[in-house]
Amino acid sequence: MPRPDAAEQSRSRRERILDAAFHAFATRGYRDTAVDDIAGAAETSKGGIYFHFPTKEAIFRELMETTADKLVARVERAVALETDPVSRAEAAIHTVLTTFAGHRTMARLLFLDTMGAGRVFQAETNALHARFAGLIQGYLDDTVQAGVIPPIDTRITSIAWFGAINEVVARWLLADDAARLEDAYPALRATLLRSAGVPQDRIGSIPLPPAGWAFPEMTRSPAVPAAARGADEESGG
């Protein structure tokens, strides 16, 4: 039998390392993941890790970049299917939420692990946020140029949009009994479009959540009616 190509073996091992690191960081967090953990999951030696990556930080940086690339590619494919400027912005928001809803580990890596890694990755985190805000700004610029919304500071608005999406996703990731992330889309969409000056008739009506439901939790204990609280207080309960 022909011997496996050395270059192919090296490429395969590198991919195994990145895959193992992705799941280790998402499960344990950056700080609590050791190089030994990654090596064991990748079925290679610690030396094998260092052959491809000089440090754990180098692995994490590459994962941040490749994960962001995958998300941006998804967003751009979805946006390319739309011609209306507002629909393009809507497609971007919807794609981000549905992608993270189906790939929780990806969301953890981009939103939680970058925070947990601390100041070591502050520059990379800022660049990542700027990249997504810039993507949003481009869609808002198109909407302004089409005359759909009045002239606005699209840079500030795009930063605010990213901040809102970031907060919704982060709260969902931290919830003990998380609801479906995509259920946040109608309210988030309406809030963001209104903030950019999209006409209300274009936004449409937004269904209210069921009574007692409070995102990001799946369920919420119903509030005790005031009359019942008064009765308990009078009875000493």
**Are 84 and 75 a contacting pair, CB within 8 Å?**
no
- Which DSSP string do the residues of the chain spell out, in sequence order? -PPPPHHHHHHHHHHHHHHHHHHHHHHH-TTT--HHHHHHHHTS-HHHHHHH-SSHHHHHHHHHHHHHHHHHHHHHHHHHT--SHHHHHHHHHHHHHHHHHH-HHHHIIIIIIHHHTGGGGHHHHHHHHHHHHHHHHHHHHHHHHTTSS----HHHHHHHHHHHHHHHHHHHHH-TTB--GGGGHHHHHHHHHHHTT--HHHH---PPPPTT--TTBS--PPPPPHHHHHHHHHHT-
Structure confidence at residue 236 as a pLDDT band (50, 70, 90): very low
pLDDT for res 82: 94
Regarding pTM above 0.85, the answer is no
Q: Could you tell me the two tokens for 54?
A: 């000089």
3 CB neighbour count, 10 Å cutoff: 6
pLDDT digits (tens, 9 = 90+) for 99-132: 999 888 878 777 766 655 666 677 778 888 899 9
pLDDT digits (tens, 9 = 90+) for 51-84: 999 999 899 889 888 888 989 999 999 999 999 9
Structure confidence at residue 221 as a pLDDT band (50, 70, 90): very low
Q: Is the pLDDT of residue 136 over 90?
A: yes
pLDDT for res 234: 42
pLDDT digits (tens, 9 = 90+) for 4-14: 677 888 888 99
140 CB neighbour count, 10 Å cutoff: 23
Whether omega before 151 lies within 30 degrees of 0, making that bond cis, reads: no
pLDDT for res 76: 94
217 DSSP β-pair partners: 178
Higher pLDDT, 146 or 113: 146
pLDDT for res 115: 59
Q: Is the pLDDT of residue 39 over 90?
A: yes
> Rounded to the nearest 5°, which phi and psi values hold at 69?
-60, -45
When the pLDDT of each residue in the chain is averaged and rounded to a whole number, the result is 84
pLDDT for res 235: 42
